[in-house]
Each structure stands twice: as structure tokens, then as C-alpha cells.
Amino acid sequence: MAKEPRIVAELGRPETPEETAARKAENSRKHRANQTAINLVLALAASLAIVLVLVLVVVRPTQPPRAAIDYASVAAREQPGVGEPLASPTLPPEWTANAATLDTGTDDITTWSIGFITPAEQFIALRQGIDANPTWLANRLDKLSPTGTEVIDGLEWAVYDNRDSRDPGNLAYAMSTSTGSSSFALYGTAETAEFLALATALSADLDGSAE
């Protein structure tokens, strides 16, 4: 028995063989398009899964620690060009330095800088400004106001405790003093005891330099 032609509701009559062929061709095209889109999505998901596995599984090499700097040797090398003794405090071997530089800024003030890593693996910067003015110190300490004082070996230090601020960064705690033609600023993330240890070693170094 022959199949009745499909009635096209919009036309109110059976569709012609040409219309049937066109309809089937369009349906086939839509099906292929849908399959292609689904395949693309699945392929993308599979690629992302592979990348994620590689990121999680592959062992990424750790960066080697930055080499310690012999700041005493750097200070001895730079000293002939400076009229003021450069600070070179003697510290226990648990203390290391990751930077030691002598620079002259746009303000024509020469600054000797050492970056210390403390035994507790915190950071303290030592800055020595030679013939520095008050602006130099204010800029080093981001214009912080002193919160107290500390006397170490007869040398008075201003203390800046900024730990309660929202984001103190490397200015969580600081100390400053002046002696001779030098102004000193210590600042960083270490505990108070490590700041006092560095300030004490610096005072001993300054006393030795004055002899």
C-alpha cells in the first residue's frame, strides 16, 4: 500500500516530491550541524581536561634560592669612594644578605643599602644615607610618624611600629637614628627582637669604625 503524501499544514495540501526531498535535506543538514557542535564541545572539554591533568601532575622545577651576598666585601670595595664609613655589622651566620648596593639618587644623596634575611626568614632593609636631610629619611619610611624610642648602646633610635595598619608591607616595623654624617633606617617584616639584634650589631660596628 502506497504511503500517503505528507500534508503540509501551511499549504493545506500534500507536499510535492521536491518539497519532501528539500525537507529531508534540511533536516539532515541541521542534524550534521548539531553533531558537529557537540563534537567540538566534547573535543574542547577533553583538551581542557588534559591540560588540567598536566598542570597537576607535571612536577614544576622550583626556583633556586637567591645567592647570599657578601655585604662586607661589597662595603670594603665601595669604601674608597665614600668619605663616611659604610655600615657592615657583624651578625651570626644565620643572618644572610640578598642585596648590597651603593647608589646616588636624584637628590645627590649617597645611600648604602643592605637587604637582610633574618634567622626567622623575615626581611630587614638597612639604609645608610650619607649627609642625608630629613626628607631622605621621610621618603625611606614613607613619612611614617614615630611611635616610640629605643636606646641601644647609648644611641637613641626612633621606633615606627606599623604592624596594626591594613597593609604595612615592608614597613611593618622600622627604626631610625643619626650619628656622625650618616642617617640610618631599618625597616621590614621581622619581629622586634631581630630588629634590636641588628641595631645592636650596627651600634658595635659604628663604635669600631669611630676608633
* Beta-ladder partners of 103: 111
Residue 175 main-chain phi, psi, to 5 deg: -140, 150
Considering the domain architecture, whether residues 33 and 126 belong to the same structural domain is answered as: no
Residue 181 main-chain phi, psi, to 5 deg: -100, 15
Is residue 2, in this structure, part of any structural domain at all? no
* Beta-ladder partners of 159: 148, 175
pLDDT at 149: 97
Considering the domain architecture, whether residues 201 and 103 belong to the same structural domain is answered as: yes
- Domain CATH for 104: 3.30.200.100
Residue type, 101: T
DSSP designation for 108: S
Considering the domain architecture, whether residues 76 and 163 belong to the same structural domain is answered as: yes
- The mean per-residue pLDDT over the stretch 12-41 comes to 70
Is residue 65, in this structure, part of any structural domain at all? no
Is residue 1, in this structure, part of any structural domain at all? no
- The mean per-residue pLDDT over the stretch 57-82 comes to 78
pLDDT at 129: 97
pLDDT at 53: 59
- Cβ pair 173, 192 in contact under 8 A: yes
Instruction: Choose the weakest-confidence range: 7-16, 65-74, 137-146, 183-192.
Output: 7-16
Considering the domain architecture, whether residues 84 and 125 belong to the same structural domain is answered as: yes
pLDDT at 44: 76
Is residue 131, in this structure, part of any structural domain at all? yes
pLDDT at 185: 97
Considering the domain architecture, whether residues 52 and 75 belong to the same structural domain is answered as: no
* CA-closest candidate to residue 114, choices 80, 88, 153: 88
Is residue 36, in this structure, part of any structural domain at all? yes
Q: What tens digit of pLDDT does each residue of 152-178 get?
A: 999 999 999 999 988 889 999 999 999
* Beta-ladder partners of 175: 159, 186
- Cβ pair 101, 82 in contact under 8 A: no
Residue-range definition of the domain harbouring residue 133: 71-210
Q: What tens digit of pLDDT does each residue of 4-19 get?
A: 665 655 555 666 777 6
Buried/exposed 19-28: b ≥16 CB within 10 Å, e otherwise: eeeeeeeeee
* Beta-ladder partners of 100: 114
Distance CA 123, CA 169 (A): 11
> Dihedral of CA 197/113/207/109: which sign?
negative
Number of domains in the chain: 2
Considering the domain architecture, whether residues 77 and 166 belong to the same structural domain is answered as: yes
